[in-house]
Structure 1
């Protein structure tokens, strides 16, 4: 399957909101604007990233099969079990008892799980014991060396 997933846990629906500062303006890849150097509001990341807390859990992804979709090795995935998977969604699926993370596609008239790395072949769902675990809604990974999530 080419990607290993580790279940990390569920969302704590009883936790108090953690509000962090959200700077106003946009981040530019060119020259910075001094006018944007202020805090506009506070943002609760859990409320922003998780729409259905009781149906959401976290997974750790290992492998390179989904790098083209921004899921790098060791990424933290937010997975929502309440979303009905549709073609184009990145899903967590058990295929013959092995968890995998792939994009759901319809090829011809049959469903497949497709990696975003062309080194990996599509996985036909027909003829396999398949169970949907949820739709990956976000991938979180560090940008600075030495940081982990």
Structure 2
């Protein structure tokens, strides 16, 4: 496990559980639907959330700079280091000794890290920065 003031990283451990039960009829968030008969199957979150096992990590968000992108304090991020960084993707970056999660903005060979909260400044990456795009966020897991 690696820790910074902005993110806490975890390596995924292989699951020994066959999966939890998935109710495949859908759950209405509007008007109730008749339950009737529903089919059960098992679902593995590892299979749903991890496409590249050897390059996937989890990290907990610390802070509020990405709240308008739906990333809140203590949310668990699924990060794939094998994915290519692209404009508008949400990325975990290492900037000048600290990890941060921001939206990538890439234009005319320039890179900015854009927060999704107007209370935080946009970070322009220059040659003076120690900068690495560490991985791309593929999913977020929330507690309710």
TM-score range, shorter chain: 0.7 to 0.9
Structure 1 segment 5-20 matched on structure 2, within 5 A: 5-7=7-9, 9-13=10-14, 15-20=15-20
What secondary structure is seen at the aligned counterpart in 1 of 2:59?
strand
What secondary structure is seen at the aligned counterpart in 2 of 1:91?
strand
Per-residue deviation at 1:119? 1.0
CA RMSD in angstroms comes to 1.8
Distance in 2 between the 1:6 and 1:107 partners?
30
Deviations 1:119-140 (A, max 9, x none): 1111111231101210111111
Aligned to 2:31: 31
Structure 1 segment 60-99 matched on structure 2, within 5 A: 60-99=60-99
Q: What is the TM-score normalised by the length of structure 1?
A: 0.84
Structure 2: any 5+ residue segments left out of the alignment? Answer: none
Matching of residue 4 in structure 1 with residue 6 in structure 2? yes
Distance in 2 between the 1:4 and 1:18 partners?
33
Matching of residue 132 in structure 1 with residue 133 in structure 2? yes
Residues 37/140 of structure 1: CA separation in 2 closer, same or farther (3 Å cut) = farther
Structure 1: any 5+ residue segments left out of the alignment? Answer: 144-149
Distance in 1 between the 2:33 and 2:92 partners?
41
After TM superposition, where is structure 1 displaced by more than 4 Å over at least 4 residues in a row?
none
Q: Residues 93 and 133 of structure 1 are in contact (CA less than 8 Å); yes or no, is this contact kept in structure 2?
A: yes
What secondary structure is seen at the aligned counterpart in 1 of 2:61?
strand
Q: What is the TM-score normalised by the length of structure 2?
A: 0.87
Distance in 1 between the 2:112 and 2:62 partners?
21
Q: Residues 18 and 45 of structure 1 are in contact (CA less than 8 Å); yes or no, is this contact kept in structure 2?
A: no
